[in-house]
């Protein structure tokens, strides 16, 4: 069975500071990993995903994530936070043979001036 753990339901940073959102997964086979962002009262938008190949994945809006198999992690980072980054972020996993995406419980990113 696959599962996702996102550490921290809320993360607060100052504008311009580093953003780090943590995601650990459990999967019986090499997984496919996703980060989605949800702005208030909107649907989910894909930030980036890892399927195969390079383990450092770059996404939209300056975000990137690194797949670390040994740590079963896929943490999301951004060097410098912007006020517009304030949103809910979801990590998700899908592995071959499993039916669909399994989401983590989400991390709310708060950005202060």
105 part of the interface to other proteins, by CB under 8 A: yes
Q: Quick one: which of 67, 90, 91, 111 contacts other proteins (CB under 8 A)?
A: 90
Question: What count of Cα atoms within 13 Å lies in the side-chain half-sphere of residue 31?
Answer: 27
Q: Which of 46, 17, 5 is nearest to 113 (CA)?
A: 17
Structure tokens belonging to residue 50: 């890892």
CB of 73 to other proteins, least distance (A): 18
Q: Are 110 and 53 in contact (CB under 8 A)?
A: no
CB of 54 to other proteins, least distance (A): 14
CB of 43 to other proteins, least distance (A): 4
103 part of the interface to other proteins, by CB under 8 A: yes
Nearer residue to other proteins within complex by CB, 52 or 70: 52
Residue 102 is classified by DSSP as E
């Amino acid at each position: 069975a696959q599962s996702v753990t996102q550490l921290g339901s809320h993360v607060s940073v100052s504008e311009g500071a580093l953003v780090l959102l943590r995601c650990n997964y459990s999967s019986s086979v090499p997984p496919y990993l996703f980060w989605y962002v949800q702005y208030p009262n909107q649907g989910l938008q894909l930030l980036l995903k890892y399927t195969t190949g390079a383990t450092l994945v770059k996404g939209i809006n300056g975000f990137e994530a690194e797949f670390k198999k040994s740590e079963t992690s896929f943490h999301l980072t951004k060097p410098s936070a912007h006020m517009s980054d304030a949103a809910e972020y979801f990590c998700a996993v899908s592995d071959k043979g499993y039916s669909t995406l399994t989401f983590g419980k989400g991390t709310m990113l708060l950005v202060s001036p």
